[in-house]
Homo-oligomer: A and B are copies of this chain.
Amino acid sequence: MIFDSLIERIGALENPTVVGLDTAYDYLPDGLRAVRAAGSAKLRVRSLRLRAPDEVTFEDAAAGILAFNKRVVDAVCDIVPAVKVQIAYYEMYGPAGIEAFEQTLLYAKSKGLFVMTDAKRNDIGATASCYAKAYLGLTELGEGMEQAFPSDFLTVNGYLGTDGIKPFSDLARKFDRGIFVLVKTSNPSSGELQDLKLENGMTVYEYMGSLVEKWGEETRGKYGYSAVGAVVGATHPAQAAVLRKQMPHTFFLIPGYGAQGGTADDLKVCFGADGVGGIVNSSRGILCAYRKEQYAGMPFDEAARAACLDMRADLRRAVYGK
């Protein structure tokens, strides 16, 4: 069961960190922007537009982003268990960006990392099945089948209810993948809808949490966690503490550490007394570490590794008490 393997890898590394590859072109150092001509050759040239030779194209941006991601992956793959690729940052570069997304997944996988696709997909059953096939399963092709964007984990949005989630949880079970359902998100407005009190006394996020526990019931692994995880922001410790008690079989993906203001002490409530139960995401704080004073002068990949080591120390202290 994939959450068992993830938990064991986190334990072996003593590091519940997932590095977010939310790579925008403007995060790249000048050096990588300069290799665009060479990089572009790796991605097909688009027929739709004509450009001046000195103009940056989506293909250039995608090639630079892929090269950047590969160097970050090389720099951290021995100290972190997983990467989370935020697909929005690739969609904004068109089909070339989607190719860079796909190749980032494959490269991270080839380096032994668990790969999470952060896409927050959601739709009615028939359409949700298409998304599920794309990220967690296989797409039918005449007699054959193939996977579009191989991911170990996928984030999804549960606003549509059970029949919008089942296609994902069914394929997660069938192919030993996992999903994370948005329960309590890390953004400032998350409370507008999620914190509303229901007639039955629960909040909307607590109710979503109860649905997530139900959706995972039949897929619990040896550590008690199901294939249906939850996204619970580090920026709302009080709510996270409630959810941790309410959702004993649900593994948490925890965004909001660092750039968004969540601290290791805020998010330790997402973990059980055994230090198990969640994985913490940091994206910009690692990708753009080379721009911070404390890592000044380091190449971006060395700075990313240094930032990961500092984050690991911070989490070990807060979560494992080491």
Contact = CB atoms under 8 A, between A and B. Distances in A.
Interface string A178-210: 000010011111111110111100001001100
Contact of A162 (B48, B148, B189): B189
Contact of A161 (B33, B57, B91, B194): B194
A294 interface: no
A197 B196 contact: no
Nearest to A20: B127
A153 interface: no
A124 B187 contact: yes
A265 to B, nearest CB: 22
A318 interface: no
Interface of A: 22, 24-26, 33, 44, 48-49, 55-58, 60-61, 86, 88-89, 91-95, 97-99, 102-103, 106, 120-125, 127-128, 130-131, 133-134, 139-144, 146, 148-149, 157-164, 182, 185-194, 196-199, 204, 207-208, 211, 255, 260
Copies in the complex: 2
Contact of A211 (B58, B193, B255): B193
B133 A92 contact: yes
A142 B102 CA distance: 23
Given A33-B142, A48-B106, A160 B208 contact: no
Given A160-B185, A198-B199, A131 B88 contact: yes
A146 to B, nearest CB: 7
A150 to B, nearest CB: 10
Contacts of A191: 161
A122 B123 contact: no
Contact of A159 (B102, B130, B159, B162): B159
Given A26-B140, A58-B148, A94-B102, A127 B88 contact: yes
